[in-house]
Amino acid sequence: MQEQSAETDAPKIKELHRRSLVKSLLWRVIGVVWTWIGAYVILLFVPPSRQSAALIATLIVVYHHSTRMIMYYGYERLWASIGWGRGAEARPMSRREKALWSVGTAAALALIFFLLLEVHPKVKAKQSGGKAQPRPLRTGGPLLPATSDGGRSRGSSRTAPRPGRTR
Protein backbone atom coordinates (compact mmCIF):
# COMPACT_ATOMS: atom_id res chain seq x y z
CA MET A 1 0.00 0.00 0.00
CA GLN A 2 1.25 3.45 -0.94
CA GLU A 3 1.60 6.09 1.78
CA GLN A 4 0.16 9.54 1.16
CA SER A 5 1.93 12.63 2.34
CA ALA A 6 0.30 15.00 4.80
CA GLU A 7 -0.05 17.61 2.07
CA THR A 8 -2.41 15.47 -0.02
CA ASP A 9 -4.58 14.45 2.96
CA ALA A 10 -5.47 18.01 3.90
CA PRO A 11 -8.38 19.56 2.02
CA LYS A 12 -7.37 22.28 -0.40
CA ILE A 13 -8.27 25.72 0.84
CA LYS A 14 -9.20 27.94 -2.03
CA GLU A 15 -8.71 31.69 -2.05
CA LEU A 16 -11.84 33.35 -3.40
CA HIS A 17 -11.68 35.92 -6.18
CA ARG A 18 -13.08 38.65 -3.95
CA ARG A 19 -10.25 38.10 -1.46
CA SER A 20 -7.66 38.43 -4.22
CA LEU A 21 -9.42 41.53 -5.55
CA VAL A 22 -9.58 43.19 -2.13
CA LYS A 23 -5.94 42.35 -1.44
CA SER A 24 -4.76 43.77 -4.76
CA LEU A 25 -6.88 46.94 -4.58
CA LEU A 26 -5.84 47.61 -1.01
CA TRP A 27 -2.20 47.06 -1.91
CA ARG A 28 -2.52 49.56 -4.78
CA VAL A 29 -4.09 52.21 -2.51
CA ILE A 30 -1.37 51.67 0.10
CA GLY A 31 1.26 51.86 -2.64
CA VAL A 32 -0.06 55.07 -4.17
CA VAL A 33 -0.33 56.82 -0.81
CA TRP A 34 3.08 55.52 0.35
CA THR A 35 4.83 56.59 -2.85
CA TRP A 36 3.10 59.98 -2.83
CA ILE A 37 4.13 60.63 0.78
CA GLY A 38 7.70 59.55 0.07
CA ALA A 39 7.99 61.67 -3.06
CA TYR A 40 6.58 64.68 -1.19
CA VAL A 41 9.07 64.25 1.67
CA ILE A 42 11.94 63.84 -0.79
CA LEU A 43 10.94 67.05 -2.58
CA LEU A 44 10.77 68.89 0.74
CA PHE A 45 14.21 67.80 1.92
CA VAL A 46 16.25 68.13 -1.27
CA PRO A 47 17.51 71.72 -1.41
CA PRO A 48 16.36 73.68 -4.48
CA SER A 49 19.98 74.21 -5.54
CA ARG A 50 20.44 70.42 -5.78
CA GLN A 51 17.10 69.53 -7.35
CA SER A 52 17.39 67.90 -10.71
CA ALA A 53 15.03 65.47 -12.41
CA ALA A 54 17.63 62.69 -12.36
CA LEU A 55 18.39 63.08 -8.63
CA ILE A 56 14.72 63.29 -7.62
CA ALA A 57 13.80 60.29 -9.78
CA THR A 58 16.67 58.24 -8.36
CA LEU A 59 15.75 59.06 -4.76
CA ILE A 60 12.10 58.18 -5.35
CA VAL A 61 12.96 54.87 -7.01
CA VAL A 62 15.37 53.87 -4.23
CA TYR A 63 12.85 54.87 -1.54
CA HIS A 64 9.97 53.15 -3.32
CA HIS A 65 11.58 49.79 -3.98
CA SER A 66 13.51 49.46 -0.73
CA THR A 67 10.55 50.24 1.51
CA ARG A 68 7.86 48.50 -0.53
CA MET A 69 9.66 45.15 -0.41
CA ILE A 70 9.58 45.21 3.38
CA MET A 71 6.00 46.47 3.40
CA TYR A 72 4.87 43.71 1.05
CA TYR A 73 6.31 41.02 3.29
CA GLY A 74 4.38 42.42 6.26
CA TYR A 75 1.26 42.89 4.15
CA GLU A 76 1.27 39.24 3.03
CA ARG A 77 1.93 37.99 6.57
CA LEU A 78 -1.02 40.06 7.79
CA TRP A 79 -3.30 38.63 5.10
CA ALA A 80 -2.12 35.10 5.93
CA SER A 81 -3.60 35.57 9.40
CA ILE A 82 -6.98 36.76 8.03
CA GLY A 83 -9.41 33.96 7.26
CA TRP A 84 -11.89 36.03 5.26
CA GLY A 85 -12.22 34.96 1.63
CA ARG A 86 -10.67 31.53 2.08
CA GLY A 87 -12.75 28.41 1.91
CA ALA A 88 -13.43 25.19 0.09
CA GLU A 89 -16.27 26.70 -1.93
CA ALA A 90 -17.52 30.10 -2.88
CA ARG A 91 -20.60 31.56 -1.23
CA PRO A 92 -22.46 34.78 -1.98
CA MET A 93 -21.45 37.90 -0.09
CA SER A 94 -23.56 38.71 2.96
CA ARG A 95 -25.22 42.10 3.37
CA ARG A 96 -22.54 43.05 5.89
CA GLU A 97 -19.76 42.12 3.46
CA LYS A 98 -21.45 44.07 0.66
CA ALA A 99 -21.80 47.11 2.94
CA LEU A 100 -18.15 46.91 4.00
CA TRP A 101 -17.11 46.52 0.35
CA SER A 102 -19.14 49.60 -0.63
CA VAL A 103 -17.83 51.71 2.26
CA GLY A 104 -14.25 50.66 1.53
CA THR A 105 -14.60 51.54 -2.15
CA ALA A 106 -16.15 54.92 -1.32
CA ALA A 107 -13.39 55.63 1.22
CA ALA A 108 -10.67 54.81 -1.31
CA LEU A 109 -12.25 57.10 -3.91
CA ALA A 110 -12.70 59.86 -1.32
CA LEU A 111 -9.03 59.61 -0.40
CA ILE A 112 -7.97 59.88 -4.03
CA PHE A 113 -10.19 62.91 -4.64
CA PHE A 114 -9.02 64.52 -1.38
CA LEU A 115 -5.41 64.18 -2.47
CA LEU A 116 -6.21 65.61 -5.89
CA LEU A 117 -8.46 68.48 -4.84
CA GLU A 118 -7.14 69.54 -1.44
CA VAL A 119 -3.54 68.48 -0.98
CA HIS A 120 -2.22 68.94 -4.52
CA PRO A 121 -3.04 72.71 -4.70
CA LYS A 122 -1.35 73.23 -1.33
CA VAL A 123 1.78 71.47 -2.54
CA LYS A 124 1.78 73.57 -5.70
CA ALA A 125 1.31 76.74 -3.65
CA LYS A 126 4.23 75.86 -1.42
CA GLN A 127 6.42 75.14 -4.43
CA SER A 128 5.49 78.43 -6.11
CA GLY A 129 6.33 80.46 -3.02
CA GLY A 130 3.03 80.93 -1.24
CA LYS A 131 0.17 81.58 -3.60
CA ALA A 132 -1.16 79.06 -6.04
CA GLN A 133 -0.84 80.28 -9.58
CA PRO A 134 -3.92 79.66 -11.71
CA ARG A 135 -3.26 77.33 -14.57
CA PRO A 136 -3.59 79.16 -17.92
CA LEU A 137 -6.45 77.90 -20.01
CA ARG A 138 -5.60 76.39 -23.33
CA THR A 139 -7.74 77.99 -25.98
CA GLY A 140 -7.01 75.66 -28.86
CA GLY A 141 -9.01 72.48 -29.22
CA PRO A 142 -7.50 69.12 -30.04
CA LEU A 143 -7.06 70.14 -33.67
CA LEU A 144 -6.58 73.87 -33.18
CA PRO A 145 -3.30 75.36 -31.95
CA ALA A 146 -3.31 77.30 -28.72
CA THR A 147 -2.74 81.03 -29.02
CA SER A 148 0.17 82.58 -27.19
CA ASP A 149 -1.94 85.45 -25.84
CA GLY A 150 -4.52 83.31 -24.06
CA GLY A 151 -7.07 83.45 -26.88
CA ARG A 152 -7.31 87.24 -27.14
CA SER A 153 -6.26 87.54 -30.75
CA ARG A 154 -9.19 86.83 -33.01
CA GLY A 155 -7.54 87.62 -36.31
CA SER A 156 -5.50 84.46 -36.60
CA SER A 157 -5.44 83.11 -40.12
CA ARG A 158 -4.95 79.54 -38.89
CA THR A 159 -8.41 79.12 -37.40
CA ALA A 160 -11.66 79.56 -39.25
CA PRO A 161 -14.61 81.17 -37.48
CA ARG A 162 -17.16 78.79 -36.05
CA PRO A 163 -20.59 78.83 -37.67
CA GLY A 164 -23.03 81.03 -35.80
CA ARG A 165 -20.32 83.03 -34.03
CA THR A 166 -19.20 86.49 -34.93
CA ARG A 167 -15.72 87.78 -34.45
Domain ranges across the chain: 12-90, 92-132
Kindly give the parts of the chain with pLDDT less than 70: 1-12, 88-90, 130-167
| pLDDT value of position 74 | 94
Question: How many other CB atoms sit within 10 Å of the CB of residue 29?
Answer: 16
Q: What percent of the chain has pLDDT over 90?
A: 13
Q: Which amino acid is at 153?
A: S
- The partner residues of 86 in beta bridges, in order of sequence, read 15
Q: What is the pLDDT of residues 85-106, one digit of tens each?
A: 887 666 777 888 888 878 888 8
| pLDDT value of position 73 | 94
Whole-model pTM above 0.75? no
DSSP state of 10: S
**Distance in angstroms (rounded) separating the CA atoms of residues 59 and 99:** 40
14 Cβ neighbours under 8 A, 6+ residues apart: 86, 87, 88, 89, 90
Q: What percent of the chain has pLDDT over 70?
A: 68
| pLDDT value of position 12 | 67
